[in-house]
Chains A and B, each alone.
Chain A
Amino acid sequence: MATRMLGYASFIMLAIATYGIFFVAGPISGEGDAGRIVYFHVPMAWNAFLAFFVVFGASIAYLRTSNPRWDRLGRASAEVGLVFTTLVLITGAIWGYPIWGTWWSWDPKLTTTLILWFMYLAYLMVRSYAEPPRGPRFAAVVGIVAFFDVPIVYMANYWWRSLHPPPAIGPLAEQQPSPTIVWILMLSLVAFTILYAFFVRVRVEIEQDEAEYATMLGEAPLGA
C-alpha cells in the first residue's frame, strides 16, 4: 500500500514539475531553452548522490551485522543510482552540445562522474557474479570505496579548472539564482526524490520475494 502511494505521489509530482519546467520557468540567460535541461539534470545528479550515500551506509551496516536486509537495500539503491547517473551523463551531453559545442569533454566533473558510473557498475557486477556467500561482502567493500568519488565529483569545479558550471544553489553557489529557478528546481528535486524512494522500495520487494522463493526451494538466493 505504501509502495503504491509512493508510485502515485511520484507520478503526480513529476507531472507538476514537468508543467513547471515547460510552462512556468523561462529560458536561462545565455543558454536558451537548452538551459531548462538543468531542471531535471541537477535533481537526478543529487538523487544519484543520495542513492550512493545509501549504498555506503547500507554497506557499512551489512559488514557490521551481516543482515541481508542491508545487502538488499544497498543493491537496490546502487541500481537506481546507476540509472540516474546514466541519465545525468546523457542529459549533460545533450546540454553540452549547444552550449559547449561538443557532446563530451574530458573535463574533471564529467570524467569523475563517468568513473562514478563505472564504479557502481562494478558494484552490481561483483554483487551478481561473485560466489556466494562472499558476493555481498565484496560488493559492500566496493560500495564503501566507490562512495569516496561522490565528494570528488561535487568538488571537481573547485579543485580543478572545469568547463562545467558551478552549483546553482547550495552553500557553494557563487550567485543566487532567481526565486522561480530555485522554486522549480526544488519541486523537481522533491519529485525525483519520491521517485527514487519508490524505485528502491519496489526493488527491495523484488529481492525479498526472490529470497523467500529461493529459501522455499532450499537454495541460496539468486546472486547472494
Chain B
Amino acid sequence: MALDHYAPFLLSAFGITLAVLVAYALYLRSRLLGARRRYSARNVSTAAPRVTTAQAASSANGPSAP
C-alpha cells in the first residue's frame, strides 16, 4: 500500500470514524449492561426472603431462654 501526500487526510478521517464508532459501541454496551444489572438486582431483591419485624426483634434480643 503506497499512499500519496493526501494520506494524512485519509488516515485522520478513517481514524476519527473508527474512534467514534468504537466509542458509540462501548457506550451502548455500558448502557445495556447497566440496564440488565439494575433489572437483575431488583429481581434478586424482590425474590429474597423478607425478615419479619418479629424475627428481627427476636434475633436482636439474643437466644431465647429454654
| Residues of chain A at interface, number, CB under 8 A | 36
Residue on B with the closest CB to A37?
A: B13
Q: Is A31 an interface residue (CB 8 A)?
A: yes
Question: Could you tell me if A94 and B12 are in contact, using CB atoms closer than 8 angstroms?
Answer: yes
Q: Which residues of A contact B29 (CB under 8 A)?
A: 202
Question: Could you tell me if A202 and B28 are in contact, using CB atoms closer than 8 angstroms?
Answer: yes
Question: Could you tell me if B28 and A199 are in contact, using CB atoms closer than 8 angstroms?
Answer: yes
Question: Could you tell me if B6 and A195 are in contact, using CB atoms closer than 8 angstroms?
Answer: no
Question: Could you tell me if A34 and B9 are in contact, using CB atoms closer than 8 angstroms?
Answer: yes
Chain B, interface residues (CB within 8 Å), range: 20 to 34
CB distance from A189 to the nearest CB of B (A): 15
CB-contacts of A1-34 with B (<8 A): 18, 21-23, 27, 31-34
CB-contacts of A45-99 with B (<8 A): 83, 86-87, 90-91, 94-95, 97-98
Q: Which residues of B contact A18 (CB under 8 A)?
A: 14
Q: Which residues of A contact B24 (CB under 8 A)?
A: 83, 199
CB-contacts of B44-64 with A (<8 A): none
CB distance from A96 to the nearest CB of B (A): 10
16 more CB-based (< 8 A) A-B contacts, given A212-B39, A216-B39:
A27-B6, A32-B6, A33-B3, A33-B7, A33-B9, A37-B9, A87-B21, A90-B20, A95-B9, A98-B6, A199-B25, A202-B32, A206-B35, A209-B35, A209-B36, A213-B35
